[in-house]
Chains A and B, each alone.
Chain A
Amino acid sequence: MQLRYVYTELGQGLRRNLSMHLAVILTLFVSLTLVGMGVLFQQQATKAADQWGNQLQITVFLCRNGDSNPVCPSAVTDAQKTDIEAVVQDNPEVADYHFESSETALGKAKELYGEELFSGDNPAITAEDMPQTIWITLEDPEQFEGITSAVQGLDGVSRVQDMRKVIAPILGALSMLQWVALVTAAVLVFAALLLVANTIRLAAFARRKEIGIMRLVGASTLYIALPFLLEALVTAIIGVVLAGGALAAVQQFGIEGRGDDTLKFIPWIGWDEFWLAAAAVGILGPLLTLLPTLVLTRKYLKV
């Protein structure tokens, strides 16, 4: 097949409908970026849920010296700890548990917030200030009331924290962001489809004479449709590259550069998740332009 004509036509087509192609590219760029953001939010939510033990754990904080809770007159005693452990051990809802000392808790805090806060002659926080805890893994994350109420009233227990109360708002926010991104993306994808359709109609109209002659002299349908398909592919590739760049910028400057430093307790997504989002965008972009082009060239360029 002689492709000289096809390439000439491709160049002419891109120049002739420049404003329409720009509109398609920009719409694709924004909608694909939002699709990619949706994927990233979803990955972030999964990662957070994985890290936080799938919300299976509850934490029992034991009384410490100077506890703000009035039910704690003094630090928990060893006898009280033995009683509490017995209750936890006997409870059928408990799958597993372990004690965590004040020192371990302080170590974790140092890891999270940095050494400086805890060192020097008069540190802000010492092991004394950190409560001892029991970390309980549940058999079934929905079954937590039994163990909570059983432990709650015992002497030496300051409070029982269900991790879901901490995580739920974060996961909720992530899930909301994900849906906002995906719904907006869906609307824009629809707009992109209409723009692609209009562009093809304009292009087919501008070239109706050539197309008519090509049909009469027996050019194959593929040969006639090829400039249209290549135009669609070029706009898709530019849209995908722009969206990929925007997502990479979000990853580099939004997450690697900022979120990582300030909100350390959240496990952030990395470049692996970025590539997943980029792949989704890279597949969706060409589909969005090529599918309507295939359908419409069949309609407008029917032999």
Chain B
Amino acid sequence: MIRFEKVTKTYPGHPHPALDNISVDVEKGEFVFLVGSSGSGKSTFLRLVLREYRPTTGRVYVAGKEINRLASWKVPRLRRDIGTVFQDFRLLPNKTVTENVAFALQVIGKSRKEIKDVVPETLELVGLTGKGDRMPDELSGGEQQRVAVARAFVNRPMILIADEPTGNLDPTTSVGIMKLLDRINRTGTTVVMATHDSSIVDQMRKRVIELENGHVVRDQAQGVYGHQV
């Protein structure tokens, strides 16, 4: 589903590459943790998948397409196959929960009827039934992140990318979000999650890819956060 072949990414003006000749293969339906300290290259990895950047050298394949060769007008279509969740939720403060989720469908031209059908379904999936008319600032952090997950998943993408989704949440709430991501993963969606949260990684026992200074230093099938198994 996601394939990095000898990918190097150097930012202009920086002598050291953010990612240095890495090769990674993520299969369809996998759940992968991306761990490593700040500046290790996690965000660059995710941005290359979203094609916010092109690799300096090497190839990136997403959903069977070599995306560094993708014409820029085809990028929006690629992103419709990828859902994205961030640490800071990124909800629109002047729209209700339902409108926030519907927004993702509206702007890619889905019909009113489809939006009407799919949005409540997705809100139910993330456990926000009955809260569709609330504004984001009336919700707790965990609930806001559920809205963000709903928005990322409402178009049923093949891949869900989560960049520190529990970074702003307390441990109990984080567990709820992880259960939600796990449920989404079970529907067949590939999930790639960058995180600093060791307890979550240790609990979930999923594949762990550890980055350090742009290199893959560990790729473990059922790993934990630290080095020991």
**A215/B79 contact (C-beta < 8 A), A221-B73, A223-B107, A303-B72 known:** yes
Task: State in angstroms the CA–CA spacing of A240 and B109 once bound together.
Answer: 33
Q: Which of B81-116 contact A (CB under 8 A)?
A: 84, 90, 92, 103-104, 106-112
Q: Are B78 and A209 in contact (CB under 8 A)?
A: no
Count: A-B pairs, CB below 8 Å: 56
Which of A217, A224, A303 contacts B104 (CB under 8 A)? Answer: A217
A241 interface residue per 8 A CB criterion: no
Q: Are A216 and B84 in contact (CB under 8 A)?
A: yes
Query: Chain B residues near A209 (CB, 8 Å)?
Result: 90, 92
**A219/B107 contact (C-beta < 8 A), A303-B72, A303-B75, A303-B76 known:** yes
A68 interface residue per 8 A CB criterion: no
Q: How far is the CB of A211 from chain B (nearest CB, A)?
A: 10
Q: Are A223 and B109 in contact (CB under 8 A)?
A: yes
A270 interface residue per 8 A CB criterion: no
Q: Are B104 and A213 in contact (CB under 8 A)?
A: yes
**Which of A4, A209, A216, A223 is the most central at the interface, judged by chain B CB atoms within 10 Å of its CB?**
A216
Residue of A nearest to B109 (CB): A1
Q: How far is the CB of B101 from chain A (nearest CB, A)?
A: 10
B80 interface residue per 8 A CB criterion: yes
Task: State in angstroms the CA–CA spacing of A31 and B110 once bound together.
Answer: 43
Interface range, A side: 10 to 19
Q: Are B90 and A218 in contact (CB under 8 A)?
A: no
A210 interface residue per 8 A CB criterion: yes
Residue of A nearest to B50 (CB): A216
**A213/B90 contact (C-beta < 8 A), A5-B107, A219-B107 known:** yes
Query: Chain B residues near A220 (CB, 8 Å)?
Result: 73, 76, 108
User: Contact string, A4-46, partner B, CB cutoff 8 A, digits 1/0?
Assistant: 1100000000000000000000000000000000000000000
Query: Chain A residues near B77 (CB, 8 Å)?
Result: 218
Task: State in angstroms the CA–CA spacing of A5 and B103 once bound together.
Answer: 9
A153 interface residue per 8 A CB criterion: no
Q: Are A218 and B80 in contact (CB under 8 A)?
A: yes
Residue of B nearest to A212 (CB): B90
Which of A4, A212, A219, A303 contacts B108 (CB under 8 A)? Answer: A219
Task: State in angstroms the CA–CA spacing of A219 and B107 once bound together.
Answer: 5
Query: Chain A residues near B104 (CB, 8 Å)?
Result: 213, 217
Query: Chain B residues near A210 (CB, 8 Å)?
Result: 92, 103
Query: Chain B residues near A82 (CB, 8 Å)?
Result: none
Query: Chain B residues near A215 (CB, 8 Å)?
Result: 76, 79
Task: State in angstroms the CA–CA spacing of A225 and B1 once bound together.
Answer: 31
A262 interface residue per 8 A CB criterion: no
Q: Are A217 and B75 in contact (CB under 8 A)?
A: no
**A4/B92 contact (C-beta < 8 A), A217-B151, A217-B155 known:** no
Task: State in angstroms the CA–CA spacing of A223 and B151 once bound together.
Answer: 19
Q: Are A214 and B107 in contact (CB under 8 A)?
A: yes
Q: How far is the CB of B73 from chain A (nearest CB, A)?
A: 7
Which of A2, A213, A221, A303 contacts B110 (CB under 8 A)? Answer: A2
User: Contact string, A193-237, partner B, CB cutoff 8 A, digits 1/0?
Assistant: 000000000000000011011111111110110000000000000
Q: Are B84 and A218 in contact (CB under 8 A)?
A: no
Query: Chain B residues near A2 (CB, 8 Å)?
Result: 106, 109-112
Query: Chain A residues near B110 (CB, 8 Å)?
Result: 2
Q: How far is the CB of B65 from chain A (nearest CB, A)?
A: 14
Task: State in angstroms the CA–CA spacing of A210 and B93 once bound together.
Answer: 10
Query: Chain A residues near B50 (CB, 8 Å)?
Result: 216
Task: State in angstroms the CA–CA spacing of A282 and B92 once bound together.
Answer: 38
Q: How far is the CB of A54 from chain B (nearest CB, A)?
A: 55
Q: How far is the CB of A12 from chain B (nearest CB, A)?
A: 10
Residue of B nearest to A216 (CB): B84
Residue of A nearest to B73 (CB): A221
Q: How far is the CB of B119 from chain A (nearest CB, A)?
A: 13
Q: Please name 14 further chain A to chain B contacts, defined as beta carbons within 8 Å, in addition to the given A217-B79, A218-B80, A219-B76, sorted by A numbering.
A: A2-B109, A2-B111, A2-B112, A209-B90, A213-B92, A215-B76, A215-B79, A217-B80, A217-B104, A217-B151, A220-B76, A221-B72, A221-B76, A223-B109
A residues at B contact (CB < 8 Å): 1-2, 4-5, 209-210, 212-221, 223-224, 303
* 10 cross-chain pairs, A with B, having the tightest CB-CB distances, nearest first: A218-B80, A218-B79, A219-B107, A217-B104, A218-B76, A1-B109, A220-B76, A214-B107, A303-B75, A216-B84
B residues at A contact (CB < 8 Å): 50, 72-73, 75-80, 84, 90, 92, 103-104, 106-112, 151, 155
Q: 29 A-B Cβ contacts within 8 A?
A: A2-B109, A2-B110, A2-B112, A5-B103, A210-B92, A212-B90, A213-B103, A213-B104, A216-B50, A216-B84, A217-B80, A217-B104, A217-B107, A217-B155, A218-B77, A218-B78, A218-B79, A218-B155, A219-B107, A220-B73, A220-B76, A220-B108, A221-B72, A221-B73, A221-B76, A223-B107, A223-B109, A303-B75, A303-B76
